[in-house]
Structure 1
């Protein structure tokens, strides 16, 4: 089974990794990962970006 998008209720295959951290909880070098499909990449990035948690967006290594 392939990895699926982290958006609530989405079962689409993940094509992106959103790397983030919450500076109040994590050390600066720690990266948490949310997976995203093409459809939810923007909304999940916006959510994390609005909180200044988003560090990077990269293609999902296991996509395809």
Structure 2
């Protein structure tokens, strides 16, 4: 039996301690560190979409929120 690849793994919420499936991709960048076109991605379940989005938005980092199914390739 082989180990699952990252593509096989379920996408889970980025909130600390949450193991729920992700349904939102919060695409962001820190303008002090990243080129304007660069996007990093946090994943969120329905419950944590507001809190994770609020954290990023309060810092001016949030660029867009899209459903996971329509999200471009995830970056680290």
TM-score normalised per structure 1: 0.94
Question: Are positions 1:8 and 2:24 aligned together?
Answer: no
* 1:1-64 mapped onto 2 (5 Å cutoff): 1-61=9-69
Give the RMSD, CA atoms, in angstroms.
1.1
Structure 2 counterpart SS, 1:48: helix
Deviating 4+ runs (over 3 angstroms): none
Bigger relative contact order, structure 1 or 2, given CA contacts below 8 A and separation 6+? 1
Structure 2 counterpart SS, 1:18: strand
Structure 1 counterpart SS, 2:69: coil
Larger radius of gyration: 2
Q: Which runs of 5+ in 1 are unaligned?
A: none
User: C-alpha distance in 2, partners of 1:50/1:14?
Assistant: 22
